[in-house]
Structure 1
Amino acid sequence: MAEQSNAVARLDRRGDHHQAPPYYLPAADEVALFEQCHHNKLAVMLKGPTGCGKTRFVEHMAWRLRRPLITISCHDDLSASDLIGRFLIRHDGTVWQDGPLTTAVRSGAICYLDEVVEARQDTIVVLHPLTDYRRQLPIDKTGEIIDAAPGFQLVVSYNPGYQRMLKDLKPSTRQRFVALDFDFPPPDREAQIVAQESGVPDTTARALVELAHKLRALRDRGLAEAPSTRLLVATAHLAARGIPVKRACQVALVSPLSDDASLLAAMNDLVELTFP
């Protein structure tokens, strides 16, 4: 994969079935829906709160479908050139270097744009020809039009609850995707995920999930982001490796959520109540 100065991209060879599959516990019919979208060459949009499993789901599906996965973390400065590519000046002349999106189109990989609305609108527009019947990527700088290789699929994700107040996708972009809604799992399934991912006992996993549900209720008191399943897993990893569980909750679950003294005090009180 070509490295880009402003694009944060990662290539995973998920098609290698000698590796263990990325752990993912389905919530409904999202696996079957994604498979049908892939077979029918449809772009997919994953909508849900931060840390609820969207990225892990894409990794799991890339493994199931035996496709390489290129992940791009979107941000305000992400340009079309960061995605498509650019000319580089070397000692022996000027050469073209493909960006991560172009690499995915040529190789038939799944291209996953994480938090796509963070990218500029003029950058998002370059995705449009890849999301309809054309499945093409025009490269204006070289005059090339690349037909997407078999297996290529475009997947984007974002957090609609957070983005609604800041940014959103234009309707002309949204209607090019099949949208799959994600949320935090029900308590029993979330506890199963935490235990599986971290190795903590089931009782500890259930207690952490119970705490998370209490903390999520604090959104009515000004908590900007609900504690994610990802934070629970990080907390459980510390607890599984000998850090006292209350201390693990303080540093990995409570402190990352807020700097507000009153909210921190309320959350630490809930930790004390859950783990007396």
Structure 2
Amino acid sequence: MMFNVNLKKVFNSEKIVIEECELEPSNLIDHIPNLDKNYVFELNVLNEVLLYLIYPFKDCLYISGPSGCGKTTLILQIAARLNWGVEQITLSNKCESLDLIGHTTLKRGELVYEYGPLTRAMLYGEILILNEIDLMSPGDLSVLNDVLEGKPLTILANNGEVIKPHPQFRVIATANTKGFGDMTGFYNGARLLNQAFLDRWRFIEMGYPKPIVELEMLKNSFPDLGLEMSKKLLHFAHDLRNVVEQGIENGVRQISAPFSTRTLLKIAALLSVETPYTVHKIIKMCFALRLPDVEHEYVMRLCNDIFGHEKQILKVTQKSDLGNEIEVSENNEDHSAESDTDSKEVKVEKKSRRRSKNSTDREESVA
């Protein structure tokens, strides 16, 4: 049964381009993604995806963008709010067309044909998400050509069964490249895709969310983090991303890994819980330690510039066994200063004793 859906109300924005549409909710509740109430949409990209979902015109949607910018999450959260079922598969250079269509398998002593994600999505009117599509062989992807144009799928391995696409069947692919191979050096294994294949797609290019959007993500997901720390994290992310982008533009890679929104949220999550670890240690665990030594050193210098030096932070935050704050740096300096003074006094005293003893010996020898 079709229902009229007010998209402006669903996404709580008057700037949604398409106001209403008719959709049939998925009968397979398990296939509807979990809704994240804290998720923040970027309006421009949201409108482009909704335009495809409501008016596909026998196209498919190809979303390219850097690692961890939220390509798949965006589709899942849109589908969750529209009660639209999703089938997704992460492709690789080992994937074959059978992984998408289906294969014969042995169950309870009988050979039965088991549908793949492509076939299930066509049957039930779901969104098929093909993650990392640029890692799969172009030859194996060619089996999708007719399906992408809205034609039926013929399964020869299942006695020539013909699967007609449901009216709400959609195909969305995500990738770090646009099908021309990796131009950054970050994504080994990305392949050149066939241009006849790419001609069947509509394209959206995503980047990392704007700072104001990432700030909302941090505030919604980790309210205990605090506004000051959130802004410092965004400052840190912005500076690192600038270095990465400048390196790509100049053809000289200065940082070997992108600083993704996924990494930003990972760091924020660890900072939001009570642990003895400083922000410096958490940034090392979540990002810096994966880099070569020179790049690691640069990232930690930037960390010191934005968050302050680690020793100063330890002086304020480190706890004693009794749970009381202790001033690590100052106490250590005081103790070391006292010990240095004591040692100097001992040395002076020993020297004076030696001198007095030597003078006594000389007097006795003269006598």
Question: Where do residues 2-21 of structure 1 align in structure 2 (5 Å cutoff)?
Answer: 13-14=31-32, 20-21=35-36
Tell me the distance in 2 between the aligned counterparts of 1:66 and 1:56: 15
Map of 1:203 onto structure 2: 228
Which secondary structure state, in structure 2, belongs to the residue aligned with residue 102 of structure 1? helix
Q: Give a deviation string over 1:3-36, Cα, whole Å, max 9, x none.
A: xxxxxxxx96327xxx644644333432222222
Tell me the distance in 2 between the aligned counterparts of 1:20 and 1:35: 17
1:250 and 2:284 are equivalent in the alignment: yes
Which secondary structure state, in structure 2, belongs to the residue aligned with residue 29 of structure 1? helix
Map of 2:209 onto structure 1: 185
C-alpha displacement of 1:184: 1.0
C-alpha displacement of 1:58: 0.6
C-alpha displacement of 1:91: 4.7
Tell me the distance in 1 between the aligned counterparts of 2:128 and 2:218: 27
Identify which of 190, 194, 215 aligns with 2:240: 215
Q: Aligned in 2, Cα 1:127/1:232: closer, same or farther, shift over 3 Å?
A: same
Map of 1:157 onto structure 2: 174
Tell me the distance in 1 between the aligned counterparts of 2:47 and 2:78: 10
Tell me the distance in 2 between the aligned counterparts of 1:104 and 1:133: 13
Tell me the distance in 2 between the aligned counterparts of 1:114 and 1:23: 23
> Which is greater in Rg?
2
Which secondary structure state, in structure 2, belongs to the residue aligned with residue 213 of structure 1? helix
Q: Aligned in 2, Cα 1:43/1:64: closer, same or farther, shift over 3 Å?
A: farther
TM-score (norm 1): 0.86
C-alpha displacement of 1:157: 0.7
- Is the Cα–Cα contact under 8 Å of residues 45 and 206 in structure 2 kept in the other structure? no
- Is the Cα–Cα contact under 8 Å of residues 130 and 154 in structure 1 kept in the other structure? no
Tell me the distance in 1 between the aligned counterparts of 2:127 and 2:30: 10
C-alpha displacement of 1:76: 1.1
Tell me the distance in 1 between the aligned counterparts of 2:176 and 2:307: 31
Map of 2:218 onto structure 1: 194
Q: Which runs of 4+ in 1 moved over 6 A?
A: none
Which secondary structure state, in structure 1, belongs to the residue aligned with residue 289 of structure 2? helix
- Is the Cα–Cα contact under 8 Å of residues 150 and 165 in structure 2 kept in the other structure? no
Which secondary structure state, in structure 2, belongs to the residue aligned with residue 112 of structure 1? strand
Query: Where do 5+ consecutive residues of structure 1 fail to align?
Result: 1-10
Tell me the distance in 2 between the aligned counterparts of 1:105 and 1:95: 19
C-alpha displacement of 1:131: 1.6
- Is the Cα–Cα contact under 8 Å of residues 137 and 191 in structure 2 kept in the other structure? no
144-153 or 107-116, which deviates more: 144-153
33-42 or 171-180, which deviates more: 33-42
- Is the Cα–Cα contact under 8 Å of residues 14 and 69 in structure 1 kept in the other structure? yes
Which secondary structure state, in structure 1, belongs to the residue aligned with residue 294 of structure 2? helix
Map of 2:270 onto structure 1: 238
Tell me the distance in 1 between the aligned counterparts of 2:255 and 2:181: 15
179-188 or 163-172, which deviates more: 163-172
Tell me the distance in 2 between the aligned counterparts of 1:23 and 1:145: 42
1:174 and 2:208 are equivalent in the alignment: no
Q: Give a deviation string over 1:175-219, Cα, whole Å, max 9, x none.
A: 211111110122222222233233322221211111112222333
Which secondary structure state, in structure 2, belongs to the residue aligned with residue 164 of structure 1? coil
Q: Aligned in 2, Cα 1:61/1:114: closer, same or farther, shift over 3 Å?
A: same
| Aligned partner letter, 2:73 | R
Which secondary structure state, in structure 1, belongs to the residue aligned with residue 157 of structure 2? coil
51-60 or 121-130, which deviates more: 121-130
Map of 1:25 onto structure 2: 40
1:35 and 2:35 are equivalent in the alignment: no
Q: Aligned in 2, Cα 1:205/1:169: closer, same or farther, shift over 3 Å?
A: farther
Identify which of 128, 136, 139 aligns with 2:145: 128
Identity of aligned pairs, percent? 22
Supply the RMSD in Å over aligned alpha carbons: 2.2
TM-score (norm 2): 0.66
Aligned length: 260
- Is the Cα–Cα contact under 8 Å of residues 187 and 206 in structure 1 kept in the other structure? no
